[in-house]
A and B are shown apart, each in its own frame.
Chain A
């Protein structure tokens, strides 16, 4: 099973990379760009009996290592079936960490 993890700078936290990219896009003439945030995208191929257990495991991974709850938010998507990039993604469930939840 493939789990995709999207990690982004927490709202309200200054994102200097996003800010720099935003400035670059504007200087290239792209109009209407309101804001850009730069994050991290991680894929994890995991053996798990169900999408729910895969997601629970990856949520723990995020809490303990993949994301820093002080400055980052994350969201997971579980893709069922072989971890092949050719296969269309089936979005089964998503989760987003709420501040204050125990890790």
Chain B
């Protein structure tokens, strides 16, 4: 499968995403420059984590206007697969490719730790390699990861199965303590209503080898890669 990882000024995890896809998974992945409009024939576009444009104004607000984002929006409208991790998730929300927004963590602190997320819907291009209810251990590192959306919209999203990942404790139960950033309904990752654009705050690209502390992140990329077969 052909992947394109977009590098914005201030992207941090682009290299790790490329490493996870190319070196660990043996996929055909290339870096895309934010000023280009070509997606290089990618079948899945990856918006990596980081602090694009210094997080000025709001996280993701300025990256959204990078030339490549026009192509990404067109690609998504045509049904192409797009995944945004952390800052990539924020960019997708700002670009209105995903519902809702990401606000300052409830604690006001930047959080860097491993969390557990539960796969809520395994019938999507981003989660099909996992089981419904499976617990994944993934790292998070963000200051603005508190997911918010209008209450009615959240209810609709739940009904349609758009909430793909939810913060839980190690045993798989939801609790206030297991929700690191105060996200509404403990949401860690959502997909759009066409199920081809996925955003998540955790970093699957940092959890692809035992040496890194775990390989649960592979489930996400394997799910996407399965679609190409």
Contacts and interface: CB of A to CB of B under 8 A. Distances in A.
A68 B65 CA distance: 14
Contact of B182 (A16, A20, A65, A70): A16
B103 interface: yes
B106 A14 contact: yes
Interface in A55-78: 65-66, 68, 70-71
A7 to B, nearest CB: 10
B124 interface: no
Please classify the interface of chain B as helix (H, G, I), strand (E, B), loop, or mixed, using the class held by over half of its residues: loop
Contacts of B62: 65
Contacts of A71: 101, 103, 148
Interface in B63-79: 65
Nearest to A65: B61
B148 A20 contact: no
A17 B104 contact: yes
B61 A14 contact: no
A65 B69 CA distance: 14
A13 interface: yes
B57 interface: yes
B149 interface: yes
Contact of A14 (B65, B148, B149): B148
B35 interface: no
Interface residues of B, number: 20
Contact of B108 (A17, A66, A70): A17
B57 A66 contact: yes
B94 interface: yes
A66 B65 CA distance: 12
A13 B61 CA distance: 19
Contact of A70 (B65, B104, B149): B149
Nearest to B149: A70
Residue among B57, B93, B105, B182 with max Cβ neighbours from chain A (10 Å) = B57
B57 A16 contact: no
Interface string B115-154: 0000000000000000000000000000000101110000
B94 A13 contact: no
A18 to B, nearest CB: 10
16 contacts: A14-B103, A14-B146, A14-B182, A16-B103, A16-B105, A16-B107, A17-B104, A17-B108, A20-B108, A65-B61, A65-B65, A68-B101, A70-B93, A70-B101, A70-B148, A71-B101
Interface of A: 13-14, 16-17, 20, 65-66, 68, 70-71
Given A14-B148, A68-B61, A68-B101, 13 more contacts: A13-B148, A14-B146, A16-B103, A16-B105, A16-B108, A16-B182, A17-B104, A17-B108, A65-B62, A65-B65, A66-B57, A68-B94, A70-B101
